[in-house]
Chains A and B, each alone.
Chain A
Amino acid sequence: MSKQHVSTTINGDGIEFLCEPHQSLLEVLRDELGLTGTKEGCATGDCGACSVMIDGRLVCSCLMLGVEAEGVQVTTIEGIAGADGLHVIQQKYLEHAALQCGICTPGFIVATKALLEKNPDPDETTIRYWLAGNLCRCTGYDKIVRAVQDAAQSLAYEA
C-alpha cells in the first residue's frame, strides 16, 4: 500500500503529511500528527466527538478521508485557544461546569465556535438543534446550553 502526500493547513499552520488513502482525517490528526485533542467516540458520525471545521464548516473528522484535507483549512480544538489563554467559549464551559468526563467536550467546543461564527445570537432552540450532532452522556446538556448562551453574550459584549 502506498502512502499519499497531503498539503493542508491546520490551525493556521501549513502542514504536510503522508497517510494511507483509507485513513480518516481523525486517524491522521491523532495518530500521524499527534493532535489528540480531537476525540473518537463512535467513528460513524453519530456522536460529534471528532468535530473539526473544514474551511469554516463543521464536519465529523471520522467521516472524511485524510487525503481529502488537501488544500483546505482545518480547525481543530487545538486551534481554539489564543496565545493569551482559553477562548471565551472554553472559559464558559468551565464556569458553567458544562463537562464531566470531558471526552465530548472538544467536539462541543468546536461545534459551538462554528455556531457562533455563523449566528452570534442563537436562541435556545437553535443551539439545541445545532448541537444535536454532539452527544454527551454526562451533563444532560442544560449546562452546555447555558455555557453557549453565556459565551454568545460575552462575545457580543467584547465585539
Chain B
Amino acid sequence: MGAYAYQAPASVEEALSTLAAEAAAGNRAQMLAGGTDVMVQMRSIDKGPRTFVDVKHVAEANELHIGDDEVFIGAGIASAVLNENDELKSILPGLIESADLIGSTQIQGRATIGGNLCNSSPAGDTIPALIACGAVCVIASPGGNREVPTEDFVTGVGTNVLEPTEFLIGLKIPRPKGRSSDAYLRFIPRTEMDIAVCGAGVALTLDDSGVCTAAKVAIGAVAITALVVPDAAAALVGTTVDDEALSAAADASSALAKPITDKRGTVEYRRKVVGVLTKRAGAIARDRALAL
C-alpha cells in the first residue's frame, strides 16, 4: 500500500525527477496546481494514496510573461492574478473572461488555467478559449520539453496526453497582432458559479477595412472534448463578420456539436444554444477588434 505524500520541487528538473522516482517506486503521483478540482475529487470520486507534486513552487510554472510576440502563462498562476493584470485582459480578453467565469472569489484565488486544462473536463471553460487563441501546451518531459496545441491535449473525459512522468509547465499563446481579439461565452442557468451547459470561444483578426483575415472557433461541453469548428472559422474569414457570416458560423457549430442529454440540458437544446453562443462571441470578438 502506498501512502499520501507531498513534494514541492523548485525546478522543472527537480519535478521531473520526483515524478520519475514515484513512477519507478510504483507510486501514484499527481500534479497539484490550485487544487480546486484535485481536493474535491480526492474526497469523492478519486480517493486513494498518492504523492502530490506541487507545481506552484516550480520557478518556470510561476512565470507570467507578456512578450512582443508571445504570452506565457505558467501552470501555477492563479486566475485572480490573471484577472488583475490589465495588459493581459486587454490583449486576450476572451481567455481571461473564460477563467474569470470559473468559481467564486475564493476559487479564483487558487484555481489556474493550467489546472483547468489538465482536469480535462468536457465543460472546462478555459479550454475552448485557449484553443481559439492558439495556445500551445508546454510540457516538461524526461526527454526535454515538448509542445502540444491545446486542441490536441485533451483526449477524453478527464484524460489527456500527459504521461505519468510528464507535467504541464504552462501555456504559450501567440500575442494577438493588429486588429485581433477574442471572446468566450458560456451558458448556465444562473448568473455565475455553475458548470457550462455549453460554451464557445472565438478569436479573429480584421484588416484595416474590417474584413476578417483569420479566425478560430472552438466549442465546449457539446462533446467529450472541446471541438475546433473549422467551418465556423471559414464562414467568418473574408467577411466583415456581419450577421449573415455569424449565422453561418453558428450553424457550423451546431452541426459539429455532438452533445449528450443530461441534467444540464438536452442534445437539441445544447446544439441550438452552442450556435447562439458562437454567433454572440463572434460579434463580441469583432467589436473588440474594431475598437483596437
- Which residues of chain A are within 8 angstroms of B88 by Cβ–Cβ distance? none
B21 within 8 Å of A (CB atoms):
no
- Which residues of chain B are within 8 angstroms of A20 by Cβ–Cβ distance? 4
Contact (A45, B106) CB under 8 Å given A57-B80, A68-B35: yes
Complex interface bits, B96-121 against A, C-beta within 8 A gives 1, otherwise 0: 00000001111101100000000000
Interface residues of B in 65-111 (CB under 8 A from A): 78, 80, 103-107, 109-110
CB pair B54–A68 under 8 Å, yes or no, is yes
CB pair B6–A45 under 8 Å, yes or no, is no
Partner of A21, one of B5, B104, B105: B5
CB pair B39–A59 under 8 Å, yes or no, is no
- Which residues of chain A are within 8 angstroms of B104 by Cβ–Cβ distance? 45, 48, 132-134
CB pair A43–B106 under 8 Å, yes or no, is no
A28 within 8 Å of B (CB atoms):
no
CB pair B78–A133 under 8 Å, yes or no, is no
CB pair A64–B106 under 8 Å, yes or no, is no
B223 within 8 Å of A (CB atoms):
no
* Complex Cα–Cα for A130 and B108 (A): 11
CB pair B35–A63 under 8 Å, yes or no, is yes
Partner of B106, one of A1, A4, A58: A58
* CB nearest neighbor in B for A44: B40
* Interface SS of A by simple majority: mixed
Chain A count of residues within 8 A CB distance of the other chain: 34
- Which residues of chain A are within 8 angstroms of B59 by Cβ–Cβ distance? none
CB pair A60–B4 under 8 Å, yes or no, is no
Contact (A63, B110) CB under 8 Å given A57-B78, A133-B193: yes
* Complex Cα–Cα for A64 and B32 (A): 10
Q: How many A-B residue pairs have CB under 8 A?
A: 89
Contact (A132, B39) CB under 8 Å given A48-B106, A60-B107: no
B43 within 8 Å of A (CB atoms):
yes
A75 within 8 Å of B (CB atoms):
no
B290 within 8 Å of A (CB atoms):
no
Contact (A45, B3) CB under 8 Å given A59-B110, A68-B54: no
| Interface band, chain B | 20 to 34
CB pair A64–B192 under 8 Å, yes or no, is no
B23 within 8 Å of A (CB atoms):
no
B187 within 8 Å of A (CB atoms):
no
* CB nearest neighbor in A for B43: A43
* CB nearest neighbor in A for B193: A132
- Which residues of chain A are within 8 angstroms of B103 by Cβ–Cβ distance? 45, 133
B42 within 8 Å of A (CB atoms):
yes
Contact (A133, B105) CB under 8 Å given A22-B4, A63-B110: yes
A103 within 8 Å of B (CB atoms):
no
Which of B4, B43, B52, B192 has the most chain A CB atoms closer than 10 A to its own CB? B4
- Which residues of chain A are within 8 angstroms of B56 by Cβ–Cβ distance? 68
Which of A45, A129, A132 has the most chain B CB atoms closer than 10 A to its own CB? A45
B188 within 8 Å of A (CB atoms):
no
Complex interface bits, A40-67 against B, C-beta within 8 A gives 1, otherwise 0: 0001111010010010011110111101
A70 within 8 Å of B (CB atoms):
yes
* CB nearest neighbor in B for A52: B106
Partner of B3, one of A1, A58, A130, A132: A1
* CB nearest neighbor in B for A22: B4
B162 within 8 Å of A (CB atoms):
no
A-B contact pairs, 7 of them (CB 8 A): A1-B4, A21-B3, A45-B36, A57-B80, A63-B34, A68-B32, A133-B106
* 6 closest cross-chain pairs (CB), A and B: A133-B104, A21-B6, A22-B4, A59-B109, A21-B4, A57-B109
Q: A68-B56, A133-B107 are in contact. List 19 more A-B contacts (CB 8 A).
A: A44-B40, A44-B44, A45-B39, A45-B107, A57-B80, A58-B105, A59-B110, A60-B36, A62-B39, A63-B40, A65-B6, A65-B35, A67-B6, A111-B105, A111-B106, A132-B105, A132-B193, A133-B104, A133-B105
